[in-house]
A = this chain, B = another copy of it.
Amino acid sequence: MAKSPLPPALAAFVAATARRDMTGVAYAVMLLGNAAMVLLTLDAAYAAAHGWIYALLCGCLAFFVAEWGIRVQAAVRMHQATAYLTSGRGLVDAASATAVPIALAAGVEPRTAWLLAFAWALKVIPGVPGLRRLRRVMVVEARPLLSVLVLFLLVLFLGSVAEYTLEHDVQPATFGTIPSAMWWAVVTLTTTGYGDVVPITPLGRMVAGMVMISGLGVFGLWTGILATSFAAETRRDNFLKTWELVSRVPFFASLGPSTIADVTQMLRTIDLPPRATVIRKGEPGDCMYFIAAGEVEVDLPGKKVRLGEGAFFGEMALLGNNLRSANISTTNLSKLLVLDLVDFRVLMARHPDLARSIDAEAQRRALENRT
């Protein structure tokens, strides 16, 4: 509301930054800056253009200093300065802005000091879509994952001691100490197998074979825990996101709560930009749509019909004639709920009342379009 002295794009950027979002610009600067940092380690690139590279890096640094400044200021304004500065995100922002200058000021050689720009890459972490889910998996499955880790470390330790005992006389250079044997063990247990350290005695090789097979076992457990748990979290997330939207569609609101829970587990949400084609005439149809937010336009012969929030479409291709009968596209930013053919049939079978009301609407529309 307040009159801003900044041009609108810049103002929008400052606002987004203050909200602690990563803007598209910030992603671009991060990628550019880290690419420049990588270039700095190539002698050829350094010799040819180190001036330009340093200029680019300084520009990126300036950007992150500004970003940090905006965020600190915004936090101070909202009396959350301490909370922000000590949060993970705040620490990454601070490191991004200050690590390199501090290192340079401390007299570290520039090519080394700029390596600290790796902190910029950490800024993407909060933006990774599935990370919240992953963190929940870690919390919920902490005990089984810890068990697997302890097993891993135990096999690692016992394998190392065994190989040290069996091999250190024959290969003192590679198995001469337990830490060296541990390096072999971790490379083997993870099935990486560099081959820089390899047992050569028959007994050592038998122990190694057992360590490898244990590696597969540990790996199997690890995969199993992560896979099962991640799948469950994904279902949870979808349920939560969809439930919100289902309650906005009047068609579902009339159903009992147990049907709604059923429906929610079957629907999938998609977000579409304006003017995106949802259905193309003549293509085979395998799902129907409910509009949770936004609007679509049905391109019927001779007229254009608009369907708003709460309407559904695409049901005709599921009720008999398999091909889509009209083009349908969004008019503005829309959120649609997708019901797949499989789930459509299961749902119709379980809830005949739902089937009847969709049927009735479909017939009404068919009649209307014919006239």
Which A residues fall within an 8 A CB radius of B? 34, 37-38, 41-43, 112, 115, 118, 121-122, 124-125, 128-131, 133-134, 140, 143-144, 146-148, 150-152, 154, 157-158, 161, 164-165, 168, 176-179, 183, 186-188, 190-196, 198, 202, 205, 208-209, 212-213, 215-217, 219-228, 230-231, 234, 236, 239-240, 243, 256-258, 260-261, 264, 268, 286, 340-342, 345-346, 348-350, 352, 355
Q: Cβ of A124: which chain B residues have Cβ within 8 Å of it? A: 150, 154
For the complex, give the distance between the alpha carbons of A274 and B133 in Å. 28
Q: Are B194 and A191 in contact (CB under 8 A)?
A: no
Closest to A143 in B: B129
Report A234 CB to chain B, min CB distance, Å.
6
**With A121-B154, A161-B118, A186-B212 as given contacts, are A349 and B257 in contact (CB-CB < 8 Å)?**
yes
Report A94 CB to chain B, min CB distance, Å.
18
Counting from the closest, the 5 A-B pairs by CB-CB distance are A224-B227, A130-B147, A192-B193, A194-B195, A257-B349
Q: Cβ of A164: which chain B residues have Cβ within 8 Å of it? A: 41, 115
Q: Are A230 and B224 in contact (CB under 8 A)?
A: yes
Having A129-B143, A192-B192, A258-B349, one finds 10 other A-B pairs with CB under 8 Å, namely A41-B176, A41-B178, A129-B144, A186-B212, A186-B213, A190-B213, A217-B222, A220-B222, A224-B228, A260-B349
Q: Are B118 and A134 in contact (CB under 8 A)?
A: no
Q: Are B38 and A178 in contact (CB under 8 A)?
A: yes
The count of identical subunits is 4
Q: Are B130 and A148 in contact (CB under 8 A)?
A: yes
| Choice from B122, B177, B179, B219 contacting A216 with Cβ under 8 Å | B219
Report A8 CB to chain B, min CB distance, Å.
30
Closest to A239 in B: B342
Report A259 CB to chain B, min CB distance, Å.
8
Q: Cβ of A350: which chain B residues have Cβ within 8 Å of it? A: 258, 261
For the complex, give the distance between the alpha carbons of A215 and B165 in Å. 29
| Choice from B144, B205, B243, B341 contacting A345 with Cβ under 8 Å | B243
Q: Are A190 and B191 in contact (CB under 8 A)?
A: yes
Q: Are A226 and B224 in contact (CB under 8 A)?
A: yes
For the complex, give the distance between the alpha carbons of A143 and B223 in Å. 19
For the complex, give the distance between the alpha carbons of A122 and B153 in Å. 11
Report A108 CB to chain B, min CB distance, Å.
12
